[in-house]
Copies of this chain bind each other. A is one copy, B any other.
Amino acid sequence: MTISTSTTTTTSTPTSMPINNQLQPLVNELKELAHLNAVSALLDWDRATYMPNKSIDIRSEQMALIGRLVHEKHTGEKIRSLLSEHVDLNTGNIRTDKIDKKDKKDKKDKEDAGTTNYTEKEKRLLKETYRSWRIANGLPTEFVAELSKLLPKAMHVWEEAKEKKDFNLFAPYLEKIIDAKRKEADYIGWSKAPYDALLDQYEPGTTQDEISIVFEDLKKGTLELLNKIKASPNFGKENRLKNVTHTFDLNKQWDFGLKVLEAMGIDFNYLRQDKSAHPFSTSLHPTDVRITTRMCEKDFLESLTSTIHEGGHALYELGLPVEWYGTPLGEARSMGIHESQSRLFENIIGRGRSFWTHYYPILKSYFPKELVGVSVEDLYYAFNEIIISPVRLKADELTYNLHIIIRFEIEKLIINDSSVKVFDLPEIWNQKYQEYLGVTPKDHAEGILQDVHWSGGMMGYFPSYTLGNIYGLQFYKQATKELGNLNYKFEKGNLKELTGWLKEKIYQKGKEKSVPELLLEITGEKLNTRPLLDYLENKYKEIYNF
């Protein structure tokens, strides 16, 4: 372990916030909330990476306690009172009157009062702070504590159930989670459907009806494209990488992954990668971001794509404005925007021809013997072969969205319709796979038990992946307009120029804009599936020659 500490050895906060002094007391409380959330993130990261096997029970209790402290603080008198100085807690409107009596005495101050006291950024900070405060206030403390106790345990049981391919083991936990999520929706409140309340936590302002329209459009386009591909004589052509009988040394895979992360613009003074059963990324602060990957000796694609994917998430977290840490202006905009970053790097770049033009010779230098007989063209095909699989994580870029659409449809069912029983879900799952993809999982491990999300209570998250694919192409199209031919840059190994653009346009903005505003500001457009469908059509037309 090398030790390297900066020589500026102050114990004060590294950055100060460029705000109105009146907001400082509120912001201080929000920062403490952020610290507690960071502690939660560390407890969970440790659970997934290094925690001794059999200490899950006490870890659940620790996480429940921190979950309760977060909730108590968020809904406590201190934040309520500080927030109410700036926002009418009934309407969410920013106050135009001052409530501080001392200030009222002063005539000059009286004249200064009003919304003009706040900059646009501060107004957004207050609006978003109010929004999350309102949601937190909807949830009873006992409910939050119970849930944060249930989830780590549920995730551990899910891992076991998946290993044993035994849905019955997980079913009682899934039932409890569904029940809790329905309650959560009711606590938060909804107008058209309970599921909207859950979606809103990951993609604020979005409803299932809006998503349904976009997803229907995408489903139609995807199935049309899939039919053209299936009709191509190239469909199912030999994947030469699969013929490789060599194994790929895990240390070399690891090193190659780090090399790519570095090229993406990641600074390892602020990020670490570890191994876990299921890759994820988490952030404790823009100076402490963590990703995980899993590795397989027979197949370096999975580890590499997961490293690049989580690296995309990490770039967003590392690039958030540290001076606004703790406030919504220091937080990622939405999970859809988050996924747009991970998926842009994973798919558009990592599965792209120009990326491999640069990295193929480098990869060959890591695995000269192993890659004998595998050309850059073979590698490109291996990353882009259409794979109609029951497993989401094995899917290509095209069919991937069908996997998401299936989960979206099932989540709508289980949250909105209380007549649907947990034990019916495997059947519903398998039917949809047969209908959209024409495949049936051979067991529950590659069927309904495949994803970690539900065991973590993340219902409403899945649509973010496909929304991310859509946003990602819209951003990428605009970046190409502004930065010139990106493929040419990627061929030279220059990924950082795009990262810099994304940092300026997206990461540094935090929650300053709503998702539609951000999209409009950057691309001049609304949510639009066209760039994604065009990109997929161009890509696969060339590969499958239709």
| Pair B35/A153 contact, Cβ less than 8 Å | no
Chain A contacts with B in 25-84, Cβ cutoff 8 A? 32, 35-36, 38-39, 42-43, 46, 50-62, 65-66, 69
CB distance from A545 to the nearest CB of B (A): 41
**Which of A215-223, A266-274, A383-391 sits within the interface?**
A266-274
B residues within 8 A CB of A274?
A: 50
The complex places the Cα of A159 from the Cα of B2 at a distance, in Å, of 10
| Pair A35/B65 contact, Cβ less than 8 Å | yes
| Pair B66/A276 contact, Cβ less than 8 Å | no
B residues within 8 A CB of A1?
A: 275-277, 294
The complex places the Cα of A141 from the Cα of B6 at a distance, in Å, of 29
The complex places the Cα of A57 from the Cα of B160 at a distance, in Å, of 38
Indicate if A287 sits at the interface (CB-CB under 8 A): yes
The complex places the Cα of A535 from the Cα of B132 at a distance, in Å, of 66
| Pair B53/A14 contact, Cβ less than 8 Å | no
The complex places the Cα of A53 from the Cα of B35 at a distance, in Å, of 18
27 A-B residue pairings within 8 Å (CB atoms): A1-B276, A1-B294, A3-B277, A4-B160, A7-B160, A13-B57, A13-B61, A39-B39, A50-B274, A51-B272, A51-B288, A52-B268, A52-B269, A52-B272, A52-B287, A52-B289, A53-B268, A54-B270, A54-B287, A55-B270, A55-B284, A55-B285, A57-B287, A58-B287, A59-B288, A62-B284, A69-B69
A 237-277 binary contact with B (CB < 8 Å = 1; else 0): 00000000000000000000000000000001111101111
Known A-B contacts A4-B160, A277-B1; the reply to A52 vs B13 at CB < 8 A is: no
B residues within 8 A CB of A51?
A: 272, 288
Indicate if A150 sits at the interface (CB-CB under 8 A): yes
| Pair B46/A160 contact, Cβ less than 8 Å | no
The complex places the Cα of A269 from the Cα of B52 at a distance, in Å, of 5
| Pair A269/B42 contact, Cβ less than 8 Å | no
Indicate if A20 sits at the interface (CB-CB under 8 A): no
Please give the count of copies of this chain that the complex contains. Answer: 2
| Pair A54/B13 contact, Cβ less than 8 Å | no
Indicate if A11 sits at the interface (CB-CB under 8 A): yes
| Pair B11/A150 contact, Cβ less than 8 Å | yes
Indicate if A343 sits at the interface (CB-CB under 8 A): no
The complex places the Cα of A148 from the Cα of B166 at a distance, in Å, of 47
CB distance from A362 to the nearest CB of B (A): 25
Indicate if A227 sits at the interface (CB-CB under 8 A): no
Known A-B contacts A39-B66, A42-B46, A150-B11; the reply to A6 vs B61 at CB < 8 A is: no
Indicate if A419 sits at the interface (CB-CB under 8 A): no
The complex places the Cα of A46 from the Cα of B51 at a distance, in Å, of 11
B residues within 8 A CB of A268?
A: 52-53
Indicate if A365 sits at the interface (CB-CB under 8 A): no
Nearest residue, chain B, Cβ from A65: B35
| Pair B57/A14 contact, Cβ less than 8 Å | yes
Nearest residue, chain B, Cβ from A69: B69
